[in-house]
């Protein structure tokens, strides 16, 4: 059973404003839209990793306990690009020696916490 993996992974999150969410993930982050289901939009964050947002009245006002982590070797480059696009960061890039990572944090229009992270010793 351990050698059987799924083909892809999608995390779905609720939003009250799909238009603002789409603008952020498409225009600011530049994630490609993989599927438009009308009230749900699914974005490709990596080759096999996807994140979806669905317009729902039950979306949390202040989401807590959820971190969307985007892994890249270029944390500082992403930080600079997003700053230039007017994104405000909760925390600029810094090294976390406990986990051997470099990361920074920002929030999307829904209040979801996004982490841009590099594994200093590789991953996998």
Identify the CA nearest to 40 among candidates 20, 60, 14: 14
Q: Give domain status of residue 124, yes or no.
A: no
How many domains does the chain contain in total?
A: 1
Q: Give domain status of residue 86, yes or no.
A: yes
Q: Name the band, by pLDDT with cuts 50, 70 and 90, for residue 77.
A: very high
pLDDT tens readout for residues 18-59? 999 999 999 999 999 999 999 999 999 999 899 999 999 999
The set of residues, in sequence order, having a beta carbon less than 8 Å from that of 75 and lying 6+ positions away, is 93, 102, 103, 104, 116, 117, 118
CATH code, domain with 81: 3.10.180.10
The helix (run of H) or strand (run of E) holding residue 82 is helix 75-84
Q: Give domain status of residue 4, yes or no.
A: no
Residue 1 has pLDDT above 80, yes or no: no
Q: Give domain status of residue 42, yes or no.
A: yes
The predicted pLDDT at position 116 comes to 98
Average pLDDT of the residues in 113-119: 98
Q: Give domain status of residue 25, yes or no.
A: yes
Judge whether 28 and 84 are in contact, CB under 8 Å. no
- Domain residues for the domain of 26 are 9-119
Given its phi and psi angles, is residue 37 left (phi above 0), alpha (psi -120 to 50 degrees) or beta?
Answer: alpha
Q: Give domain status of residue 96, yes or no.
A: yes
The predicted pLDDT at position 5 comes to 83
Identify the CA nearest to 27 among candidates 117, 108, 93: 108
Residue with tokens 């982590």: 69
The helix (run of H) or strand (run of E) holding residue 115 is strand 113-119
* Distance (Å, whole) CA 119 – CA 40: 31
The predicted pLDDT at position 3 comes to 75
């Amino acid at each position: 059973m351990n050698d059987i993996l799924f083909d892809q992974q999608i995390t779905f999150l609720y939003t009250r404003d799909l238009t603002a969410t789409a603008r952020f993930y498409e225009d600011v982050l530049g994630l490609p839209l993989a599927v438009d289901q009308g009230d749900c939009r699914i974005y490709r964050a990596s080759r096999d990793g996807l994140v979806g947002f669905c317009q729902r009245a039950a979306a949390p006002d202040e989401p807590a306990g959820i971190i969307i982590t985007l892994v890249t070797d270029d944390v500082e480059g992403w930080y600079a690009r997003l700053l230039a696009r007017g994104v405000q960061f909760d925390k600029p890039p810094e090294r976390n020696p406990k986990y051997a990572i470099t990361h920074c944090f920002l929030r999307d229009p829904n209040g979801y916490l996004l982490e841009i992270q590099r594994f200093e010793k590789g991953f996998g």
